Amino acid sequence: MRILDLALKDLSQILRDKRSFLFLVAMPIAFTLFMGFAYRSGENGKPQDPRIPLAWVEETPGSALSELLYTRLEESDTLKPVQMEKAEALTAMQKGDVDGVLVIPSGFGEQAQVGKVPQVTLIADAASTKGQSLYQLLRVPISQLMSAVEISQMSVDVVGNSNEFAPALELAWKKWEMDSAGSLVRMEQAVAQKSESWFGDNPYNQSSPGILVQFAIMGLVTSAQILTQERKSRTLQRLMTTAMKPWEVLVGHLMGMFAIVFLQIAMLVIFGQLVLGVDYLRVPMGTLLVLVALGLWVSSMGLLIGLLAKGDDQVTMYSMIAMFGFSALGGAWFPLEMAGGIFAAIGKALPSAWAITGLQNILIRGLTLNSAWLPIGVLLVYALGFFMLAVWRFRKLDV
């Protein structure tokens, strides 16, 4: 009960300040709208080809079979083949200019014509959505091409004239093309919805969770200042002379901070759901658990900031450093996949990135509750880490 009383005291003290609404709700909403508008304008200003870019590497150009396959892929609404040398293709893939490299081996046409099955190689990230899509999209036309070759070879064996191979191949290939047109269109529909842009069909799918995480950290300023003021006025020291145990004091302040953070992000989620069309409730339990884990991490960090800072100015400074650092590096402003390299590697290790990933697994990637467990676990580990640091700092205080 004493813990709850302390938490309610902090909560009421924060809510009495009229400026709290400005920092907790008004500013995050304004930034969310601005960033969503900027994302939409950026997409509209740069029309993008929705097809998945695929580097085409042919070790021995000129094969009739590879030309048939290349033409089919080039006419596809799902794939965009780009002819390159192998070294150039691998470099382009590392830069993110293409999502995969298809290598057509030497003697591709000759091996197929004599009854052998040549092995084409797809180089792609098997763990990524686009890598898996490339594999599925390529498997159908390549299998059809090999089947057409086999049919043509059977025709040559029956007729006993090798000159029949080319006409039979052309006829079988055209037949496959006619029969598979409908299925290719259906596959394109599923892929295009996910590859249309990095925020799905709604720019607020990126800006809403990103700004939510950013201002959850910013909201620590007010709650952490309460702890700092208690230290300066020696209220905290007097609490230590009461029947309350040290851990109860910490947990009480932690609960107060958590209540403020969770109240803030809950209002932003409601705004995003009802006004911006961000479907947080598609997996309600997943969203709720990610938000709880996010609130625990942020409030634990706020507890540490309140114990480290020597005044209100330092609270503001530490909170701003945390906000901009975790936001910029954690993907709150743009997807880490767009940055690549060391920047993305560092960002993906931060708790802010895990919080955004957990939400975007639901909002953009269309995944289930299972996709949220890992981000939730990472956030809870960070929350425990910051809380233990706060306990260590609390023991060092002169109380």
Q: What is the pLDDT of residues 321-350, one digit of tens each?
A: 888 888 888 887 777 766 666 777 888 889
Residue among 390, 21, 399 at smallest CA distance from 222: 21
Is pLDDT of 21 > 80? no
Is pLDDT of 191 > 50? no
Which percentage of the chain shows pLDDT scores above 90?
10
Q: What is the pLDDT of residue 193?
A: 36
Per-residue pLDDT, averaged over 100-115, amounts to 75
Least confident of 95-109, 161-175, 220-234: 161-175
Q: What average pLDDT does the chain have?
A: 76
Q: What sign for the dihedral angle of Cα 154, 160, 166, 172? A: negative
Q: Cβ(103)–Cβ(84) under 8 Å?
A: no
In terms of Cβ atoms closer than 10 Å to its own Cβ (0-12, 13-18, 19+), residue 368 is exposed
Q: What is the pLDDT of residue 181?
A: 44
Q: Cβ(210)–Cβ(216) under 8 Å?
A: no
Is pLDDT of 179 > 60? no
**pTM for the full predicted model:** 0.58
Is pLDDT of 47 > 60? no
Q: What is the pLDDT of residue 92?
A: 87
Is pLDDT of 12 > 80? no
Higher per-residue pLDDT: 263 or 140 = 263
Per-residue pLDDT, averaged over 294-311, amounts to 87
Q: What is the pLDDT of residue 396?
A: 76
Is pLDDT of 266 > 70? yes
In the chain, the amino acid numbered 146 is: M
Q: Cβ(244)–Cβ(281) under 8 Å?
A: no
Radius of gyration of the chain (CA): 29
Q: What is the pLDDT of residue 182?
A: 39
Least confident of 4-13, 25-34, 60-69, 126-135: 4-13
Q: What is the pLDDT of residue 169?
A: 61
Q: What are phi and psi of 296, to 5 degrees?
A: -65, -40
At residue 184 the predicted structure's pLDDT band, cuts being 50, 70 and 90, is very low
Is pLDDT of 379 > 90? yes
Enumerate residues 6+ apart whose C-beta is below 8 A from 138: 54, 73, 79, 102, 122
Per-residue pLDDT, averaged over 113-125, amounts to 74
Domains in the chain: ranges and CATH: 2-43+199-396 (no CATH), 52-195 (3.40.1710)
Q: What is the pLDDT of residue 190?
A: 31
